[in-house]
């Protein structure tokens, strides 16, 4: 027996983008169905590093990032929990004079956005932050921080459900078709018709985009993370390094989360697992950078599946082929902080057809400059296969 749902907006993918969109749309009075092939917040939104960071983003992301920045301290009112959000500050370290110069250049470039970046010299690093090792300086962003990724998206989905959204987990969308007045989505034992569809399917979003005539060069990446046993507090800030390689934060409970390197997908590419040589490298680097980690134990590794675009910017905005379809995916390993703002932007797009936040650089058309809006009413798809995108 097939269940039928008719709603204003159907959202494919219950990550942080889809869940926060669902909540924002409910707040505007739309009827919403949120579909996830597994559990909401269980993929990249839930297994990322947990950095809530504006510093280091390209300037074109900063208006959106600032919008999100205003949401994070309000999580308690918005979703009923604070998500363990800590406004700890984010400290980006430089290992060479050239890296420090590039941090200085960045600070100058983004000055108009008001991140209040502060350049910190070598001595200050050890005095203020207890950072030793082979670093020459850093750039401190006091308003940034970190949060528990396992909680935030899950809580957005739960809040959306409490606000009246139909949240359907373990419900894989098998087919999507454009109809005259909207869309028809099919899942096992379920048919959803909706006026609007939001494609926030993360690493699985490319298949939905391409069925509506908008193929995108999405690639899957797998970050690799380790977490230590709880330690006495020694790391009060979220740490990154110019040029990458390692990032680290200490949660209130005392565990230190350290990321870096890449994991590898399993036979089922929906799942991945850190590689031994990768985690050995991260552990070695971390114990060199942070004295207290020299005698610490790693208790767990994890990884996730993320969607990365070639220019490291997400796809956000209306479809160019299909009226009523909106995309928001491809956050390239930096979606956690920005996603709650994207949820608000998508809700505005649905309601008003436009948004107060500049999103032009994230248009899907940047990957297909020749493509023209066309009649996609015949578009239909089947997404049962497990093939990965090229």
Binding site for other proteins (CB under 8 A): 39, 41-42, 46, 80, 150-151, 154-155, 158, 161, 226-229, 253, 266-267, 273-277, 279-280, 283-284, 286-287, 293-302
Q: Least distance from C-beta 85 to other proteins, angstroms?
A: 15
Q: Least distance from C-beta 260 to other proteins, angstroms?
A: 13
Distance CA 87, CA 105 (A): 24
CB crowding 83-106: b at 16 or more within 10 Å, else e: bbbbbbbbbbbbbeeebbeebeeb
CB nearer other proteins, residue 31 or residue 287: 287
Q: Least distance from C-beta 170 to other proteins, angstroms?
A: 9
Please, are residues 229 and 299 in contact by the beta-carbon 8 Å criterion?
yes
> Which residues share a beta bridge with 51?
146
Chain centroid to CA 51: 10
CB nearer other proteins, residue 41 or residue 240: 41
DSSP string, 204-266: GHHHHHHHTT-----EEE-EEEEEEPP--S---SEEEETT-S-EEEE-TTS-EEEEEEE-EE-
Q: Least distance from C-beta 289 to other proteins, angstroms?
A: 11
CB nearer other proteins, residue 213 or residue 304: 304
Q: Least distance from C-beta 287 to other proteins, angstroms?
A: 4
Q: Least distance from C-beta 232 to other proteins, angstroms?
A: 15
Beta-strand pair 238-241/90-94: parallel
CB nearer other proteins, residue 60 or residue 169: 169
Distance CA 95, CA 133 (A): 9
CB nearer other proteins, residue 302 or residue 329: 302
CB nearer other proteins, residue 183 or residue 247: 247
Please, are residues 201 and 63 in contact by the beta-carbon 8 Å criterion?
no
Q: Least distance from C-beta 228 to other proteins, angstroms?
A: 7
CB nearer other proteins, residue 139 or residue 154: 154
CB nearer other proteins, residue 4 or residue 294: 294
Distance CA 350, CA 343 (A): 11
Distance CA 218, CA 331 (A): 10
Distance CA 385, CA 370 (A): 29
Q: Least distance from C-beta 383 to other proteins, angstroms?
A: 23
Phi, psi of 366 (to 5 degrees): -65, -20
Structure token digits, residue 198 = 């939001």
Of the candidates 259, 357, 329, 353, the one whose C-alpha atom is nearest the C-alpha of residue 16 is: 329
CB nearer other proteins, residue 82 or residue 99: 82
Q: Least distance from C-beta 49 to other proteins, angstroms?
A: 15
268, with CB counted inside 10 A (0-12, 13-18, 19+), is exposed
């Amino acid at each position: 027996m097939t269940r039928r749902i008719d709603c204003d907006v159907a959202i494919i993918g219950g990550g942080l983008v889809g869940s926060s969109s669902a909540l924002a749309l409910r707040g505007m009075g739309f009827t919403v169905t949120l579909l996830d092939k597994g559990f909401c917040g269980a993929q990249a939104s839930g297994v990322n590093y947990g950095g809530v960071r504006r510093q280091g983003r390209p300037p074109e992301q900063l208006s959106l990032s600032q919008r999100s920045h205003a949401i994070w301290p309000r999580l308690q009112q918005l979703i009923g929990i604070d998500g363990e959000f800590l406004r700890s500050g984010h400290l980006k370290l430089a290992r060479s004079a050239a890296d420090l110069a590039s941090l200085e250049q960045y600070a100058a470039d983004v000055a108009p956005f008001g991140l209040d970046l502060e350049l910190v010299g070598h001595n200050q690093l050890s005095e203020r932050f207890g950072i030793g090792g082979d670093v020459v300086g850093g750039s401190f962003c006091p308003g940034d921080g970190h949060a528990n990724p396992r909680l935030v998206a899950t809580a957005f989905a739960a809040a959306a459900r409490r606000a009246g959204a139909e949240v359907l987990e373990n419900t894989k969308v098998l087919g999507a078709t454009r109809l005259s007045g909207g869309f028809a989505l099919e899942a096992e034992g379920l048919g959803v018709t909706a006026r609007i569809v939001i494609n926030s399917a993360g690493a699985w979003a490319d298949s939905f985009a391409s069925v509506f005539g908008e193929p995108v060069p999405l690639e899957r990446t797998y970050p690799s993370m380790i977490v230590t046993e709880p330690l006495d507090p020694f790391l009060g800030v979220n740490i990154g390094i110019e040029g990458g390689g390692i990032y680290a934060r200490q949660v209130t409970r005392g565990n230190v989360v350290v990321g870096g390197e890449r994991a590898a997908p399993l036979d089922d590419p929906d799942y991945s697992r850190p590689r031994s040589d990768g985690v050995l490298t991260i552990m070695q680097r971390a114990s060199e950078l942070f004295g207290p980690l020299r005698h610490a134990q790693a208790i767990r590794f994890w990884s996730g599946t993320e969607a990365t675009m070639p220019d490291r910017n997400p796809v956000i905005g209306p479809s160019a082929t299909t009226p009523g379809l909106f995309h928001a995916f491809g956050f390239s390993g930096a979606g956690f902080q920005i996603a709650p703002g994207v949820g608000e932007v998508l809700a505005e797009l649905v309601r008003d057809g436009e948004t107060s936040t500049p999103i032009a650089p994230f248009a899907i058309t940047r990957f297909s400059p020749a493509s023209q809006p066309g009649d996609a009413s015949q578009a239909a798809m089947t997404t049962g296969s497990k093939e990965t995108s090229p």
